[in-house]
Amino acid sequence: MTTSLTSTRHAVTDLAQAMELCFEKGWTDGLPVVPPTEAAVRDMLEAAELAPGEELAFITNRQVAVTAEKVAINAVMAGCRPAFMPVVVAAIEGIGDPRWAYHGPGTSTAGAAVLMIVNGPIARELDFNCGDNLFGPGWRANATVGRAVRLVMRNVIGSRPGTLDRGTLGHPGKLSYVIAENELDSPWTPLHVERGFRAEQSTVTVMAAEAPHQFYNQLSSTAAGLLTTCCDDMRISGNVVGQSQYALVLAGEHMRTISAEGWSKADVRSFVFEHTQNTVAHLKRTERLAGPVEAGDERARRPLVASPADILVVAAGGRAGAFSAYIPGWGSRKASEAVTTLIKDRRA
Amino acid sequence: MAGFEILDPTVEPRLQPLTYVARPESLKGRRIGLVENTKFNSDRLLRKIGDILVHEYGAAEARMWRKRNSSVPAHDEIIDEAKRGVDVVVAGIGD
């Protein structure tokens, strides 16, 4: 495969003009980008051992092939280190997977972002944040990998706000929405192992997702107690009748309280599945389901998710503070499901 | 700092040939296909449209298919059956 870069080249006089040109062309997310020079793009490709023309995803509805060259250009612009490129590539493969079904979450008025959860040794090697200020700024890996994916969505796939990205509200996770699981402190099976990978492999899980909803429980010292609070908050959240997937991010104090009683992630999932169900009567009274309340509706229950497996439990967040978060997925699991892809070390 | 070049991060979608079937001059005796996208009320809206096309415009019949969900194209069975069994298709969004 050829190693020449085929992208159009734009001559600029200096760094400032290069950055302004990127704004003028509509190539940025509203923040300044790093100008993508050939040398920087080649470093990015080399780090992932990818030929420029290699196709990483094909978005059917748009008839767009997402090539390594374009991903590398956008990763440079996002501020990624070359070492991050394999993570960006895995995330792009994930959103290109038919199960993730790009067209819906990439376009929808419901305004999903791409939540990315990094697992395995690479999360620690590249310093992805899995602790304090989990969803906040301050970590280059978290901020730039997610930004690179969003720039690919914008510049390569054409998901621009107001045209092919019709999010009514969107949310700040559309700038970058990347976390890692705190595997070192977690007593539980890591997410990627639950999803069929080996612990020593590294993966990224992509999920079309709303913003994180933080919940408080500073009172209970039992697993059931604090998860009861969580479930009460979560029961009416997201697209309640759509049965999307959910991520449940359990931070330090809650993680320790729950695990101290011997609860596994599967136990958490079962509890949350059972305690987030609504009655059909309630969904009708609150205008989420159509029609008058009928006999049996007070007892008929509709689960928030189709099955306990649709709750992705992740151990992450600061060690201190009795807070955790749940994250509603977009739409419904039938329309888009979380996909976990291997971060390949092509140099091995 | 000397001048330099930057690489364009965008692509153009592949062009696909797209041809339209000629619109029928009349709906009289035509078979109508309705593709429902699962959104709330889209079935009611399309059924109403189907009734109007039959009763006011003389269409022979109207039948409906349901997509797997609102975010995907009509699946192959719908396309295959529509090719064989209808002359005109109406697709709609229900929200």
Which of B7, B11, B37 to mutate: most A Cβ within 10 Å?
A: B7
Q: Which residue has the higher pLDDT, A168 or B93?
A: A168
With beta carbons under 8 A apart, name residues in chain A contacting B6: 9-10, 12, 18, 21-22, 35-37
Three-state secondary-structure class, residue A297? coil
> How near does any CA of chain A get to the CA of B83, in Å?
21
User: Chain A within 8 Å of B13 (Cβ-Cβ)?
Assistant: yes
What confidence tens digit (pLDDT) does each residue in A25-72 have? 999 999 999 999 999 999 999 999 999 999 999 998 888 999 999 999
Q: Please check the confidence at residue B64 and state whether its pLDDT lies above 60.
A: yes
- The two three-digit tokens of residue A341, written as one number: 């892809």
Write down the pLDDT at residue A348: 54
CB contact (8 A) between residue B4 and residue A11: yes
Cβ neighbour number for residue A260 with a 10 Å cutoff = 12
CB contact (8 A) between residue A77 and residue B72: no
Q: Cα torsion at A331, A92, A198, A130 (round to 10°)?
A: -80
Residue whose token pair is 């062309």: A25
With beta carbons under 8 A apart, name residues in chain B contacting A335: 69-72
Q: Please check the confidence at residue A347 and state whether its pLDDT lies above 70.
A: no
CB contact (8 A) between residue B3 and residue A8: no
pTM score above 0.90: yes
Q: In terms of DSSP bridges, do strands A246-250 and A323-328 run parallel, antiparallel, or are they unpaired?
A: antiparallel
What confidence tens digit (pLDDT) does each residue in A248-307 have? 999 999 999 999 999 999 999 999 999 999 999 999 999 999 999 999 999 999 999 999
What confidence tens digit (pLDDT) does each residue in A110-152 have? 999 999 999 999 999 999 999 999 999 999 999 999 999 999 9
What confidence tens digit (pLDDT) does each residue in B32-60 have? 999 998 888 889 999 999 999 999 999 99
With beta carbons under 8 A apart, name residues in chain B contacting A9: 5-8
CB contact (8 A) between residue B6 and residue A21: yes
Q: Please check the confidence at residue A346 and state whether its pLDDT lies above 80.
A: no
- For residue A63, give every residue at least 6 positions away whose Cβ sits within 8 Å of its Cβ, in sequence order, or none: B13, B14, B16
Chain A to chain B Cβ contacts (< 8 Å) = 94
With beta carbons under 8 A apart, name residues in chain A contacting B4: 11-12, 18, 35, 37
Q: Please check the confidence at residue A216 and state whether its pLDDT lies above 70.
A: yes
What confidence tens digit (pLDDT) does each residue in A150-207 have? 999 999 999 999 999 999 999 999 999 999 999 999 999 999 999 999 999 999 999 9
pLDDT-based confidence at B12, cuts 50/70/90? confident
Q: Which chain A residue shows the shortest CA-CA distance from B14? A: A63
CA distances in angstroms from A58 to A75, A205, A236, A348, listed in the order given: 18, 19, 36, 26
What confidence tens digit (pLDDT) does each residue in A77-100 have? 999 999 999 999 999 999 999 999
User: Chain A within 8 Å of B20 (Cβ-Cβ)?
Assistant: no
Q: Which of residues 45-74 of B touch A (CB under 8 A)?
A: 68-73
User: Chain A within 8 Å of B16 (Cβ-Cβ)?
Assistant: yes
Write down the pLDDT at residue A148: 98
CA distances in angstroms from B89 to A23, B28, B49, listed in the order given: 43, 14, 11
Q: Please check the confidence at residue B19 and state whether its pLDDT lies above 60.
A: yes
CB contact (8 A) between residue B3 and residue A36: no
Lowest mean pLDDT across A104-108, A222-226, B12-16: B12-16
Q: Please check the confidence at residue B91 and state whether its pLDDT lies above 90.
A: no
Write down the pLDDT at residue B94: 58
User: Chain A within 8 Å of B75 (Cβ-Cβ)?
Assistant: no
Among B3, B9, B68, the residue with its CB nearest the CB of A73 is B9
Write down the pLDDT at residue B16: 78
